Structure 1
Amino acid sequence: MSLEASLRFEADKPTNPNLRKAYENQVERIKYDEVMADRENVVRLEKQINQRAAWNENLEESSWKKRIRNEHAHVKNEMKMASKAALSVRRVALKQLLERDLEMWEKELALQGKTFYKQRI
């Protein structure tokens, strides 16, 4: 390596005016590169933060949609079970109604001296 090159990088401050100007330009370029690297780091970090925020929002939205689907399935299942329960209640009520009607008809027929025909096996 030449003396000028080593002076440019290793010496504190060169004495030659041309070398001093080159040295100052080099120092300015290094400072500018450091500033730009810091700015790029800030942009990179902000980009990561924005990506995480977007991911969280999407995760929250998909979680919300999944919860709505689960609640819809739960409500559908409850409606199915309620329908079955209502059907069984209606069957019991109808059976009781038919038994009361049968008893009433048997009493009416008994007052007339009649009865229902019952086949013996």
Structure 2
Amino acid sequence: MSKETTLKFEQPAQPSKLFQTYLKNLKAYESQLDKNEDQKMLDQKWLRDEWLEQSAIKLKARAMKNEQKQLVHEMKMVAKANLLVRRRALALRLETDRQMYEKELASLGKAFHKERL
């Protein structure tokens, strides 16, 4: 065998220019693909964060609305309770006034006419 043939088989093979170009393009494509995947992940993270933020805003608005309803309901209940207390106080006042007038009239020798059933 000639020296060229021997060197050809003993030395590491030199890749062709086409193969080197192919590898270069493949690496560029893979790096671009990685960048795209990273961008997709960032977009998904941003979308998820945006959704969580909107969800929190809606949740807070709903909570405030429910709190407002509860406050209105409590105010109605307080108004009803206040009305009942005032009615009872007025009834007691009328009863004490009636008893006072009966005592005054009894001391004068007069009385209310009461119809007995």
Aligned match for 2:80, one of 75, 84, 87: 84
How big is the shift at 1:42? 0.4
Runs of 4+ in 1 over 6 A off after TM superposition: none
Q: Give the alignment's Cα RMSD to 1 decimal.
A: 1.3
In the aligned structure 1, how far is the partner of 2:99 from the partner of 2:45? 79
Aligned 1:11-30 pairs, distance under 5 A: 13-14=14-15, 20-30=16-26
- Is residue 13–residue 23 contact of structure 1 (8 Å, CA) maintained in 2? no
TM-score normalised by length of structure 1: 0.80
Read off the aligned partner of 2:72 and give its amino acid letter: K
Aligned 1:62-73 pairs, distance under 5 A: 62-73=58-69
Read off the aligned partner of 2:77 and give its amino acid letter: M
Task: Say which SS state the counterpart of residue 120 (structure 1) adopts.
Answer: coil
Could you tell me which runs of 5 or more consecutive residues in structure 1 were left unpaired when the two chains were aligned. Answer: 1-11, 15-19
- Which structure is higher in RCO with an 8 Å CA cutoff and minimum separation 6? 1
Instruction: Determine what percentage of the aligned residue pairs are the same residue.
Output: 35
TM-score normalised by length of structure 2: 0.83
Task: Say which SS state the counterpart of residue 69 (structure 1) adopts.
Answer: helix
Could you tell me which runs of 5 or more consecutive residues in structure 2 were left unpaired when the two chains were aligned. Answer: 1-12
Between Structure 1 and Structure 2, how many residues are aligned? 105
In the alignment, does 2:55 pair up with 1:59?
yes
Task: Say which SS state the counterpart of residue 99 (structure 1) adopts.
Answer: helix
